[in-house]
Structure 1
Amino acid sequence: MAVRTFETIEEARAGGWEDLAPSWDLFHSADWLSLESEQTNIAPRFHLAGEEGGRPEAALAGFPLDETSEPWPFMRVDRTLGLLADRWGASVPDGALDPDLLLPTYLGGSRRVPDTLLLTDPGSGTARRRALTRELVAAAEQEARARGSRSVSYLYVGEADPLREVLRGCGYAEFPTARYATLHLPEPGFDAYLDGLPGVRRRKVVKERRVLEAAGLDIDVRPLTGELIPELAPLMVKHGSKYGHSYAEETVTRSLELHVRHCGDTLHAITARSADGVLRGFSAFVHRGTRLYLRQTGYDYDWLGKLPLYFALAFYAPIEYAGRVGATAVDYAVESERTKVSRGCTLEQRYGYLKLFDPRRQAALEPLLEGIRRGAVPAAS
């Protein structure tokens, strides 16, 4: 068995990366990883495993991160642990989260999105997939050591993913990180979705849609192209500010431009305009295979008042669109669990894994990790 490491996703794509990416998966597709390669400040690496000279049977993306990387709490392990400590009331030993103790790190699987997947050929047997997974985990560690990293992290591994067993066996500390929300739509059409909700919630949804209809908004789904970006970016800034994030308009503009460039005609915008034609809110999603992935949203809060426009743009319009195009699931990632569950989403527990190359530092971090495990028990059950 051999592991090849590529410096660009274009080289990895030529080496067979897309043959392993599930048709429904966005965040580990070559198109998405090309977007992430442009956003990150340090070039990623792409590992492919298989028989020497044969087609690849497994793949893993690795993102080197350091103190100059974005302080995104769903990406940089020091920020992730800080977020979890605050959430679960875990005490933080003095200096335990200092960046120079944990960073640089090598993040396996994904970047900026709370979804970690090591790709394997579904045609391989269980034992073969486990062996391939071990090879790629070892290759990522070797790359991390060669780069002078202090740690390797995998932050959002699915509850049923065999990668969990391999990482535990390789000495990684495990801790719960989040619960991932997905809305499954077994039958097409909004009426089928509505019928699946409890009676009280169903009546509330019907009422919200009547309120929105009375507001006279023009809600439309269209391809998200560059000409829309000047209207969308200011609303994204307002949305971020409402939830305590200070985004520069240039930053969100660049993010939207990258989405347009790399997602192409799979990227759509749901826009809501008032009678005067002014954009009052939007959501953006990517359609891949049988799934829609909600990516961005923004609102004119000065105009909005108590109008439930968020639910129209993040739930009702995407569900209607999914019915038209045959999508059977809408991906909502993490956070805002209560709201997502109230609209029919199911939650899957995700787990983080961390290995520090200095065993003493790993041991010193254990009280914090144990505090996170204890605090998160009610949410993980």
Structure 2
Amino acid sequence: MRLVSSPTSALPPEWAKLADEVADYSVSTRWLETLGPLLPGQPWWLVAKTGGQARIGLHARWLESPPAEARYDIGAVLRGSIPALEPRRTPVDVPATEDLYPTVLVTLPGYCCAAAGSGASDPALLRETLNAIDGWAAARGARSVSFLYVPERQALLREALAGFGALPVDLYPTCVLPITFDSVAEYQQQLSQRRRSGLRRLVRRLADNGMTAAEVKLWDVRDEVLELRLGLLRKYHSDADRATLSATLDRMMDHYPAEDIVVTAVRRGHEVVGFTLALRHGGTLRPLWGGQTSEAYGAYFVMNFHVLIAAALERGIERIDYGTLKWTEKTRHGCRLESLTGHMWAVANDA
């Protein structure tokens, strides 16, 4: 087995084939081309080849120092300085920053980590690949390697990391709603009486305030979506760079057909006062962005658990991955928690 590494923002030529060999949306070319530029650090593509054939693909980021986003900082993760669903089991001795950086972070956009290629189903080849990554990282002077946000569906990758001896790292779950119903009404019947009544009350409240909720086309509301997204990020003191977000919207529209970009919006007249934006990959719908004005009380729940459900049913979606955070709100509306795991190891570097 030979590990080929490419330090470029452009996907390597063999990546499309590797992505097509697995069902995981997070390794798809359009997902990576759209959202990859949002990840911190220098991109590296790591491809394991046997007999000259590409078998496994992993996406990594080289980080010289801790990034601004704590959820991609292995030091912050180890310290427990990231969101948590439950009290964290923080290691007693967290290595100093200089003992962790430079680091190799293996991850994907959207807080996910997966392997592309048919070789991802071969435990022995996965182990060989991890050994090769360790040697590659050491040769480049890395102090640590981490795989962050490995989902339940990547069971073989998790097992390979555990067998390699990587330290398990406390993270938090994502929220997934399996589509096991045929209508919005049937979905609501699965909820508690309190949740059903709450959703109906919020729909009425919006109507009473002259607002309507419906699916819209991103092309028609692009500028409003951008402003609402910026407003939400500023509210929570997150990075809100207009040029970065604008470019991301442009890439979405370049790489995704209109039917795979699902935008739900609450409007007052022609004004958009709330939105959610999701991307479709086969049977999975992945909400990514949202935002609303203060006047659109309850819009989050109506857009995500009423209008978006209807849009998913129309498209034959099998599961909605609502992502992380707001775990209580999401589980109360039918989502189940799926774990995301982290794994890291110190690199033996003699330099």
The one of 42, 54, 57 aligned to 2:55: 57
- The C-alpha deviation readout for 1:164-212, integer Å capped at 9, x for no partner, is 2221222211122011110111123211211221233222222222223
Structure 2 equivalent of residue 258 of structure 1: 251
Structure 2 residue 329 is matched with structure 1 residue 339? yes
Moved more, 135-144 or 330-339: 135-144
- The C-alpha deviation readout for 1:37-60, integer Å capped at 9, x for no partner, is 433464422233353134x43322
TM-score by length of 1: 0.80
| Contact kept in structure 1, 2:152 and 2:339, CA below 8 Å | yes
CA–CA distance in 1 between the matches of 2:169 and 2:12? Answer: 34
Q: How does 1:6-155 map to 2 (within 5 A)?
A: 6-8=6-8, 9-13=10-14, 16-22=17-23, 25-40=24-39, 42-54=41-53, 56-67=54-65, 70-84=67-81, 88=87, 96=94, 98-111=96-109, 113-121=110-118, 129-155=122-148
TM-score by length of 2: 0.86
Summarize the Cα distance change of 1:109–1:21 in structure 2 as closer, same or farther, 3 Å threshold: farther
- The C-alpha deviation readout for 1:245-297, integer Å capped at 9, x for no partner, is 2523333323333333333432232222102x211011111011011110111
| Contact kept in structure 1, 2:229 and 2:290, CA below 8 Å | yes
Structure 2 residue 5 is matched with structure 1 residue 5? yes
Moved more, 179-188 or 159-168: 159-168
Summarize the Cα distance change of 1:139–1:33 in structure 2 as closer, same or farther, 3 Å threshold: farther
CA–CA distance in 2 between the matches of 1:326 and 1:281? Answer: 25
The one of 187, 198, 218 aligned to 2:212: 218
| Contact kept in structure 2, 1:17 and 1:30, CA below 8 Å | no
The one of 193, 200, 204 aligned to 1:206: 200
Q: CA deviation at 1:15?
A: 6.6
| Contact kept in structure 1, 2:20 and 2:28, CA below 8 Å | no
* One-letter amino acid matched to 1:293: R
* One-letter amino acid matched to 1:157: V
SS in structure 2 at match of 1:335: coil
Structure 2 residue 270 is matched with structure 1 residue 270? no
CA–CA distance in 2 between the matches of 1:195 and 1:86? Answer: 31
SS in structure 2 at match of 1:16: helix
CA–CA distance in 1 between the matches of 2:251 and 2:77? Answer: 25
Q: CA deviation at 1:97?
A: 6.2
CA–CA distance in 2 between the matches of 1:255 and 1:212? Answer: 30
Summarize the Cα distance change of 1:12–1:62 in structure 2 as closer, same or farther, 3 Å threshold: farther
Moved more, 346-355 or 166-175: 166-175
CA–CA distance in 2 between the matches of 1:164 and 1:92? Answer: 20
CA–CA distance in 1 between the matches of 2:174 and 2:146? Answer: 18
Structure 2 residue 323 is matched with structure 1 residue 325? no
Summarize the Cα distance change of 1:318–1:85 in structure 2 as closer, same or farther, 3 Å threshold: closer
Summarize the Cα distance change of 1:343–1:250 in structure 2 as closer, same or farther, 3 Å threshold: same
Structure 2 equivalent of residue 183 of structure 1: 177
Structure 2 residue 198 is matched with structure 1 residue 197? no
Moved more, 205-214 or 7-16: 7-16
* One-letter amino acid matched to 1:72: E
CA–CA distance in 2 between the matches of 1:64 and 1:18? Answer: 22
CA–CA distance in 2 between the matches of 1:15 and 1:3? Answer: 18
| Contact kept in structure 1, 2:145 and 2:346, CA below 8 Å | yes
CA–CA distance in 2 between the matches of 1:140 and 1:249? Answer: 36
CA–CA distance in 1 between the matches of 2:203 and 2:75? Answer: 42
CA–CA distance in 1 between the matches of 2:305 and 2:276? Answer: 10
- The C-alpha deviation readout for 1:342-376, integer Å capped at 9, x for no partner, is 110000122111112259xxxxxxxxxxxxxxxxx
SS in structure 2 at match of 1:197: coil
Summarize the Cα distance change of 1:168–1:65 in structure 2 as closer, same or farther, 3 Å threshold: same
| Contact kept in structure 2, 1:229 and 1:257, CA below 8 Å | no
Q: Unmatched 5+ residue regions in structure 2?
A: none
Q: CA deviation at 1:90?
A: 6.4
CA–CA distance in 2 between the matches of 1:141 and 1:263? Answer: 35
Structure 2 equivalent of residue 371 of structure 1: none
Summarize the Cα distance change of 1:19–1:353 in structure 2 as closer, same or farther, 3 Å threshold: same
* One-letter amino acid matched to 2:339: Q
Q: How does 1:300-319 map to 2 (within 5 A)?
A: 300-301=293-294, 303-304=295-296, 307-319=297-309
The one of 161, 164, 171 aligned to 2:158: 164
Q: Unmatched 5+ residue regions in structure 1?
A: 360-381
Identity %: 22
CA–CA distance in 1 between the matches of 2:57 and 2:72? Answer: 20
CA–CA distance in 1 between the matches of 2:15 and 2:108? Answer: 20
Summarize the Cα distance change of 1:4–1:83 in structure 2 as closer, same or farther, 3 Å threshold: same
- The C-alpha deviation readout for 1:285-342, integer Å capped at 9, x for no partner, is 10110111101111112x33xx210112222211010011111211111111101101
CA–CA distance in 2 between the matches of 1:109 and 1:309? Answer: 32
